[in-house]
Amino acid sequence: MSTEVGTDLPAAPAVPAVPAAPAGRRGGGEAAVTEAFAVALPVGRWSTDPAIIDAHRLDRSGWIPPGRPLGVAFAREVADVQSVLRVASARGVPVIVRGAGTGLAGGAAAGAGTVVLDLTGMNRIRELSVADAVAVVEPGVITADLDAAARQVGLSYPPDPASASISTIGGNIATNAGGLRCAKYGVTRESVLGLEVVLADGEVITTGRRTVKGVAGYDLTGLLVGSEGTLGVVVGATVRLRPLPRATVTLAGYFDTALAAVDAVTALTAAGIVPAIAELLDERTVRAVDAATGSTLATHGAVFLLVQTDGAGATAEADEAQAILAARARAVHRSTDDATAEPLLAARRAALPSLERLGRPLIEDIAVPRSQLATAIARVTDIAAATGVDIYTLAHAADGNLHPIIVVDPASPELPPAAWHAAEQIFELALELGGTITGEHGIGILKRRWLATELGSHSHDLQRRLRAAFDPTGILNPGRGL
């Protein structure tokens, strides 16, 4: 559950409280602790300035933990991260790791007694190898910058969370970020071959490899991806690049109902078509986008479905997809050039900003088995009706990932109970349909209450033991993730 940046969402009763850690549990008073970090880091890489702290303590969840962190460490190199974690381990100080702060689940929101470790200064693309189709990057590289660099040499970095132009690859790795192209190209996990990681005790390990295949030892790379900074701090990543698709065809389908659009996506996949993108905006969202941007989507049809095919078979797949859409849609428009495709993609990207104009959005992020997508959308509509809250639904339709966005009155200082109640029903719905409470945004702080229900207590306990094996003193993002 998440709201956008800048809101001052107070803790709601449904969210478990995270105890504020006392400054320096084992290391003396606050002054001694901050002095230890200042001494351990090169000049200019540690700040206790309240304005600087305030600028680096929140993410886009809207969650504001009580109290102010002790300081911010600005890492520029691996040794800085080692220094921070060594001091933190020795003194028992919780470290909240952050990239660009675009997370939607509160994972980077830092409160009293913590230290913020900012990795945005580690933003070099260390290597870009065309021959091996890999890049080696530091965690602070902006994801879209990596893709742009790859495109200059005929390759691409496919994972594209909607935040790609502002989020970092390190944050994407921490949350195993998804995005629009997952059905065809997988989530971040499928593009990460190996990691360089500083463990809680300050030691550096490398995981994985530069090769596509390799089975020596356990898959620590996969375990670290999506672990929300709780197992170690990623200071380098070897990522897989893919050939830049030769051709891309974009189809805009306009439907009378969301169910008709879902039926079209079902028919696409039943036909063996693997779209690179299949984005659905429901009727309310379409109207909001039109109102905000001046677009005229609704004049073609109530519900918008954006489909892209790409690669050597793009045209053939698009021909077939167009026929499938046309049989169910009010209208289908086809684009094979950037000039006409870009406004369609822009409409999808405008969805969230358009909703922000209407109120304070809480972005849910459930995923359900593909066959349950229509049911999920219909049931979300029922939940909105029963609770009386406004819910707008976007979906990565080809992989069953829905974003029901609850929009509440921004004038209300606290989230209304009805909004929390709707969110809880959405989580229960996801689990009932065999899905998950989070497809791509992560648990962070805001979904911890529901995690054990999804995992089961045995798995949850086991995962906590794993966490302790990595971080026995519990300094890494305590209260986040598990």
Decide if residue 223 touches its own copies (CB under 8 A).
yes
User: Rounded distance, CA 309 to CA 278, Å?
Assistant: 9
Q: Give 120-123 contacts, CB < 8 A, sequence gap 24+.
A: 120/74, 120/168, 121/45, 121/74, 121/75, 121/76, 122/75, 122/76, 122/77, 122/170, 122/235, 123/168
224: region left, alpha or beta (phi > 0 left; psi from -120 to 50 alpha) = alpha
Identified binder of its own copies from the candidate list 109, 122, 137, 225, rule CB under 8 A? 225
Our finding on whether 447 is near its own copies (CB under 8 A) is yes
Q: Which residues does 288 contact at the CB level (< 8 Å), separation at least 6?
A: 351, 354, 355, 357, 358, 392
Q: Output the CA–CA distances (angstroms, integers) from residue 143 to 101, 343, 416, 427, in the order listed.
A: 13, 22, 35, 29
Interface with its own copies by CB under 8 A: which range of 41-49, 88-96, 335-343, 363-371?
A: 363-371
Residues in the chain: 482
- Does residue 248 bind its own copies (CB under 8 A)? no
Applying CB under 8 A, among 54, 127, 203, 337 the residue interacting with its own copies is 203
The owner of tokens 């995005």 is: 179
Q: Does 67 bind its own copies (CB under 8 A)?
A: no
Q: Which of 277, 215, 210 is nearest to 248 (CA)?
A: 277
**CB nearer its own copies, residue 20 or residue 223:** 223
**Helix (H) or strand (E) segment spanning residue 240:** strand 233-240
Total chain residues near its own copies (CB under 8 A) = 93
Q: Does the protein bind its own copies through residue 16 (CB under 8 A)?
A: no
* 369 scored as a contact of its own copies (CB under 8 A): yes
If one asks whether residue 152 binds its own copies (CB under 8 A), the answer comes out as no
| Interface region with its own copies, contact rule CB under 8 A, candidates 6-14, 28-36, 281-289, 452-460 | 452-460
CA distance 118 to 168: 11
Distance CA 222, CA 233 (A): 14
Which of 23/430 has CB closer to its own copies?
430
Which 276-315 positions form the footprint of its own copies (CB under 8 A)?
311-314
Taking the complex as a whole, the smallest distance from the CB of residue 157 to its own copies amounts, in Å, to 15
Separation of alpha carbons 139 and 289, rounded Å = 33
Diameter of the chain by CA atoms? 71
Q: Counting contacts by CB under 8 A, is residue 456 touching its own copies?
A: yes
Pick from 317, 356, 364, 390: which binds its own copies (CB under 8 A)? Answer: 317
Pick the closer one to its own copies by CB: 69 or 107.
Answer: 107
Q: Where are the alpha helices (DSSP H) in 43-109?
A: 50-55, 78-91
- Which CB, 293 or 375, lies closer to its own copies? 375
Residue 214 binds its own copies, judged by CB under 8 A? yes
| Nearer to its own copies (CB atom), residue 230 or residue 285 | 230
Binding window for its own copies (CB under 8 A); candidates: 52-60, 362-370, 380-388, 408-416: 362-370
Task: Name the residue type at position 330.
Answer: R
Indicate which single residue of 51, 216, 339, 411 sits in contact with its own copies (rule: CB under 8 A).
216
Question: Does 438 participate in binding its own copies (rule CB under 8 A)?
Answer: yes
String of DSSP letters for 444-463: TTTTHHHHHHHH-HHHHHHH
User: Using CA atoms, how far apart are residues 398 and 186, in angstroms rounded to an integer?
Assistant: 12
DSSP annotation of 397: G
Range in contact with its own copies (rule: CB under 8 A) among 31-39, 137-145, 279-287, 395-403: 395-403
Nearer to its own copies, 310 or 356 (CB): 310
Instruction: Please report whether residue 159 would count as binding its own copies according to CB under 8 A.
Output: no
Find residue 129's DSSP bridge partners. 134
Which residues ranging from 123 to 142 are in contact with its own copies (CB under 8 A)?
A: 129-134
Confirm or reject binding of residue 411 to its own copies (CB under 8 A): no
User: Does 272 sit near its own copies (CB under 8 A)?
Assistant: yes
Using CB under 8 A as the binding rule, whether residue 399 contacts its own copies is answered as: yes
Site membership for its own copies, residue 428 (CB under 8 A): no
Query: 330, 370, 421, 449: which one contacts its own copies (CB under 8 A)?
Result: 370
Nearer to its own copies by Cβ, of 77 and 263: the residue is 263
